[in-house]
Structure 1
């Protein structure tokens, strides 16, 4: 019986990703108790111990029964009041699982524990960089190391801590460890730590709380669902302080905005952890004020003993004096440029990747370099060749373009929906796609491929490309085109959104229909001059303007009524969000095209009958009406997707234009994923980033 209990306990502990120490802490029992129960040394656990372990492991009802049964006990049944469903609690728990799984994978991917973590230590920052302890509260002892980050944070009564350090000093590693350690000891009532890259925040355009909510819905689309008070779940979690913001990269905010950002941070009382390079934070403090109620620490440099304990473990290569790193370590002990450079985890990690993980690379090369800047440039410049080997010449231009692209955008986020931007290229893509679609559909349905068909396809492509190119320019200038956060469901509720979308579709569809009628009449006149540009043109413009307008209004209204938030399965990675958006957009077109085609076919029949009664000469047939509907539905759907959706822009630019011009590879998703697995990129929610801002800067300058 005891053996079965220990087996179950170990199985469910490992499933939860907990060590014996972590489970003991979470369950508030002794580590000896957990160890003894798993090994079978203790075979008669008390009722309270079993219940505490079951609660800590978050077992289901059936699993609790099995655990109590294995302990030879029955859990008392407690009759309680029905529990009211709390959407925020469910959202918090789902978010907790997603965040914990994401950052555990990232820590493994970055080889933080391979073979051991580099030591990250810190001391209290100068008093002029932090608020008074009367405002901060708690204890004044701030020194610590990486495994004590949560402990130090909890000494700060205000729960507002600033972590400062120079480039590559380990700030991002610290935020990851902070989030995981806090989640490992979190009680159900505690906030979930979520890491946000501050480089994407423009404090002059959006407030901190709104920006946090927007970032949450970007990385976890299910949080776009309505919250209990009318906003989104994401906004409700931020406002109720069920999310603990871990704000990484204050220094990465656009130049000139640091003081504005610090003022914006001081308008909130949110508990938080903020990281920054020293210079940018110090300048902001001197220009405004300290972060209200916040303590501050400064990361320390690595010591020689830290390098001696780490670098030899990373390789089995041997040199004349034993381990291949011995000459370098001897030089570091003597001081000099190497000792100055190999003091940050970034530079040490680059050196390890270049010389320990790569065959035939001897770190003795470092001894031939005599200036700190020269050594740093060498390490940054040798990293890509060490990672890609013989493929370096092929991939280096692509990485350089990515780095330059991000620098021009003023961001560190490689977001798949931000590769576009040119309205001219968008218009060309739309025109070509719609022209080809029109030619294929007209030929298939009406059975001819003559001069009129070719001319009409070219003209409708040109006009549609022009109209949607202008529409893209107008929309993108006002608001960046973002990934959709909705999917379609079979049941929805009508409301103001349905009417507003319907009116938008009516106006936009009417403009497209009028242009379509004009082009149709002009194409017919160019092929058959005796047709004459008479009142028939006005009839075509009016008829198609009305039919397409009401058809588009109907489509937009139906789509608005069917929209529902993306579910949790769409979150977690850039590929996951891309796949979810592709499915959502294709589902949208699958609804738009048939509804529009059926409406146009029926409406043109009604209009044709009315015009015949009014003694107009009308040429109409069901086949012609169906062709019009399909051309309008498919062509309009293609134009909308390629110009006004993030996934369509990805297709136009990342899958066609940029590979065609040689700036990026044809298989861009596979290339990004490969760069991530090689350690060149890292993931930060729904975006990629270069593993460090300094690598991005180096690649930009080297392009």
Structure 2
């Protein structure tokens, strides 16, 4: 039930004619804060929040007093103006999002089912850490999983390197570090955020800039302007209110480990870095240790660890009691099986295959004679164990995804990159645009003109072909300059005040978009004029003459100015996506789809009306100059709609990340059998089965070893 404060807030907000979102923007507070106060979910607002809301609502003195009284406090008279801390609000919102995300991931990975595997570590060799003087004093580093925050705090510099072999538990440790640090609820602690280093190219982008980009990718609301220019994400990084947990130094592309270590040494940011031992040792040998950083090495699981864990994962029993007894007996005498079951990854795979699956006996592991055979068996049996009879169907799909990631040199499965490793990428985009534009033209002309004509059919085929070629070339040129990234904005009502979290689209960005619209619309208009003339020429006695050049010029100018107009309007109406857009990879996809479709819905009517009106004016002028002009309001409207819808489709499918996703992931790759038709459902199902994991706005294979296994099957 809403409190008295919430009732007053809603009453005065509605009196001001503001939505919850508009009030949040004007007051520079989170939308969730406004919503929670009005519904009663939040009952103890901060003094600064109440003051910001009162200022935004322009309350009178008596109304301000009433609002503060409803909040259970009196408004103090500050000596100096008190300003709301946008970084504090952003950090709190980020903290809540990070904690919710990684708690779900820990549950999904069954880390506490029935108990966590005992991950322990010892101090790393002296040559892999900096001197104790630079670190801030010698400390004891050996510990276990539940002490990771304590160990990090012992290190004076707050810079810790965690080393371990593949599958040793580094990812489990980073997750536990984040959750334990957040659970400490110390307001002086920065927000720990896990960053997968595999996508960082240190020779192209600096560490701080890359961290800000990754924050915005996973939490689009941090793309809003910060208090001193730039974005909130960059401001949080620069103010050290984010603690980077850099996972997978070894996953950085080959040849870049030494530049990466050099780049890390140019900063003094507190951090936690994980890596395989060999890759880190090689980088250190070629450059230097991580400045001011202590280092630890994860140790292997013991036979006692396995004996305490594996029997607790199942109720199955064999002839001699617990079904795991023959395996544990073999481990005790050493050999290949003991060597394999030393890492949490292999133990987790064995548990999933034999404890969680009916009719699978772990004694099967005893028939293998080498560590390599056992590891291949566990990796190869994992998917059949979790998918059962569906395994043979899904293996090629997982193989394609693994091969796609290998082609990208990445472990991040991003929906906006699916299909981008295709050698015929631009041709496929052009084909998709051509078919979509041709069909759209037929439907629009049939609806407005009441019938399909030979000329109309011919025009649809030709405009589809020309637009497809043009769009394929535009896509090829665009992706050579920069990859297509997800939309980070949504449309807000024109005239609403953005406040500190409002749109960053003003100024130069608006002019950039207008220029893009002029070029894109002008090219589409010129192509339209040529195709229109050719269609008339092929089915009538229409003569190609100087009138064709006039048509091409008119359509190029009208379409170009119209597209520039709508692109500028869209840019001026943009505001950053809020935090709800980053709950999962496909929530970001849905936000992108919504943003793109709203943009098209806004652009097409404006463009159609503009073209109809301007071509009428131009037709009158050409008639006065004694040109033979055939024009009517209906044909002009049809022209505007065909141009708007066709141009909109061409732009969306060739120059936006969501359109690229539609062409490849929803049509081309399923049509050719490389991925399922219901790809979002398939990826979500693979996540729930534990084959994939989530890392912000992207998926990853459960482990790099599993990705490599499927890539080799292609």
Q: Structure 1 length as normaliser, TM-score? A: 0.89
Spell out, residue by residue over 1:280-319, the C-alpha distance to the aligned partner (whole angstroms, 9 max, x if none): 0000000110000000000000000000000000000001
How far the C-alpha of 1:448 sits from its partner, in A, is 2.7
Q: Residue in 1 aligned with 2:573?
A: 562
Q: Is the 8 A contact 2:490 2:595 kept in 1?
A: yes
Q: Residue in 1 aligned with 2:257?
A: 258
Q: Residue in 1 aligned with 2:499?
A: none
Is residue 616 from structure 1 mapped to residue 641 from structure 2 by the alignment?
A: no
Is residue 594 from structure 1 mapped to residue 593 from structure 2 by the alignment?
A: no
Which of 627, 647, 650 aligns to 1:636? It is 647
Taking the aligned partners of 2:42 and 2:653, their CA distance within structure 1 comes to 47
Q: Residue in 2 aligned with 1:235?
A: 234
CA 1:118–1:540 in structure 2 vs 1: closer, same or farther (change >3 Å)?
Answer: same
Taking the aligned partners of 1:521 and 1:531, their CA distance within structure 2 comes to 8
Q: What SS is found at the alignment partner of 2:384?
A: helix
Q: What SS is found at the alignment partner of 1:99?
A: helix
How far the C-alpha of 1:83 sits from its partner, in A, is 4.2
Q: How does 1:381-530 map to 2 (within 5 A)?
A: 381-421=380-420, 422-491=425-494, 494-528=506-540, 530=541
How far the C-alpha of 1:278 sits from its partner, in A, is 0.4
Q: Residue in 2 aligned with 1:61?
A: 44
Q: How does 1:12-161 map to 2 (within 5 A)?
A: 60-61=43-44, 79=76, 81=78, 83-161=82-160
Taking the aligned partners of 1:78 and 1:622, their CA distance within structure 2 comes to 62
Q: What SS is found at the alignment partner of 1:665?
A: coil
Q: Is the 8 A contact 1:139 1:155 kept in 2?
A: no
Taking the aligned partners of 1:117 and 1:148, their CA distance within structure 2 comes to 14
Q: How does 1:198-347 map to 2 (within 5 A)?
A: 198-347=197-346
CA 1:341–1:425 in structure 2 vs 1: closer, same or farther (change >3 Å)?
Answer: same
Taking the aligned partners of 1:498 and 1:61, their CA distance within structure 2 comes to 40
Taking the aligned partners of 2:332 and 2:77, their CA distance within structure 1 comes to 67
* Of 438-447 and 287-296, the range deviating more from structure 2: 438-447
Taking the aligned partners of 2:617 and 2:586, their CA distance within structure 1 comes to 46
Q: Residue in 2 aligned with 1:29?
A: none
Q: Residue in 2 aligned with 1:539?
A: 550
How far the C-alpha of 1:189 sits from its partner, in A, is 2.8
CA 1:59–1:294 in structure 2 vs 1: closer, same or farther (change >3 Å)?
Answer: farther
Q: Residue in 2 aligned with 1:183?
A: 182
Taking the aligned partners of 2:680 and 2:508, their CA distance within structure 1 comes to 39
Spell out, residue by residue over 1:76-134, the C-alpha distance to the aligned partner (whole angstroms, 9 max, x if none): 97947374211111000000000000000000000000000000000000010010000
Taking the aligned partners of 1:120 and 1:175, their CA distance within structure 2 comes to 11
Taking the aligned partners of 1:197 and 1:557, their CA distance within structure 2 comes to 36
How far the C-alpha of 1:494 sits from its partner, in A, is 5.0
How far the C-alpha of 1:504 sits from its partner, in A, is 2.3
CA 1:281–1:599 in structure 2 vs 1: closer, same or farther (change >3 Å)?
Answer: same
Q: Is the 8 A contact 2:566 2:603 kept in 1?
A: yes
Taking the aligned partners of 1:62 and 1:168, their CA distance within structure 2 comes to 45
Q: Residue in 2 aligned with 1:71?
A: none
CA RMSD of aligned residues (A): 1.6
Spell out, residue by residue over 1:161-189, the C-alpha distance to the aligned partner (whole angstroms, 9 max, x if none): 00000000000000000000001113223
Q: What SS is found at the alignment partner of 2:292?
A: coil
Q: Residue in 2 aligned with 1:6?
A: none
How far the C-alpha of 1:249 sits from its partner, in A, is 0.3
Spell out, residue by residue over 1:481-526, the C-alpha distance to the aligned partner (whole angstroms, 9 max, x if none): 0000000111258523222321221122112111110110011011
How far the C-alpha of 1:149 sits from its partner, in A, is 0.1
Taking the aligned partners of 1:440 and 1:497, their CA distance within structure 2 comes to 35
Q: What SS is found at the alignment partner of 2:524?
A: helix
Q: Residue in 1 aligned with 2:699?
A: 688
Q: Is the 8 A contact 2:494 2:573 kept in 1?
A: yes
Q: Residue in 2 aligned with 1:669?
A: 680
Taking the aligned partners of 1:76 and 1:424, their CA distance within structure 2 comes to 65
Q: What SS is found at the alignment partner of 1:61?
A: coil
Taking the aligned partners of 1:365 and 1:511, their CA distance within structure 2 comes to 66
How far the C-alpha of 1:449 sits from its partner, in A, is 1.2
Taking the aligned partners of 2:710 and 2:45, their CA distance within structure 1 comes to 55
Is residue 163 from structure 1 mapped to residue 162 from structure 2 by the alignment?
A: yes
Q: Is the 8 A contact 1:501 1:557 kept in 2?
A: yes
Taking the aligned partners of 1:103 and 1:153, their CA distance within structure 2 comes to 19
Is residue 362 from structure 1 mapped to residue 374 from structure 2 by the alignment?
A: no
Taking the aligned partners of 2:377 and 2:512, their CA distance within structure 1 comes to 58
Taking the aligned partners of 1:62 and 1:291, their CA distance within structure 2 comes to 43
Taking the aligned partners of 1:655 and 1:681, their CA distance within structure 2 comes to 20
Q: Residue in 2 aligned with 1:30?
A: none
Q: Residue in 2 aligned with 1:585?
A: 596
Taking the aligned partners of 1:138 and 1:668, their CA distance within structure 2 comes to 52
Q: Is the 8 A contact 2:419 2:669 kept in 1?
A: no
Spell out, residue by residue over 1:449-503, the C-alpha distance to the aligned partner (whole angstroms, 9 max, x if none): 1211111001100110111110100010110000000001112585232223212
Q: What SS is found at the alignment partner of 2:693?
A: strand
Q: How many residues were matched structurally?
A: 636
Q: Residue in 1 aligned with 2:665?
A: 654
Taking the aligned partners of 1:365 and 1:489, their CA distance within structure 2 comes to 61
Q: Residue in 2 aligned with 1:26?
A: none
Q: Structure 2 length as normaliser, TM-score? A: 0.87
Q: What SS is found at the alignment partner of 1:176?
A: helix
Q: What SS is found at the alignment partner of 2:487?
A: coil
Taking the aligned partners of 1:440 and 1:376, their CA distance within structure 2 comes to 57
Q: What SS is found at the alignment partner of 1:531?
A: coil
Taking the aligned partners of 2:629 and 2:103, their CA distance within structure 1 comes to 68
Taking the aligned partners of 1:515 and 1:698, their CA distance within structure 2 comes to 48
Q: Is the 8 A contact 1:146 1:177 kept in 2?
A: yes
Taking the aligned partners of 1:521 and 1:201, their CA distance within structure 2 comes to 50
Taking the aligned partners of 1:522 and 1:63, their CA distance within structure 2 comes to 68
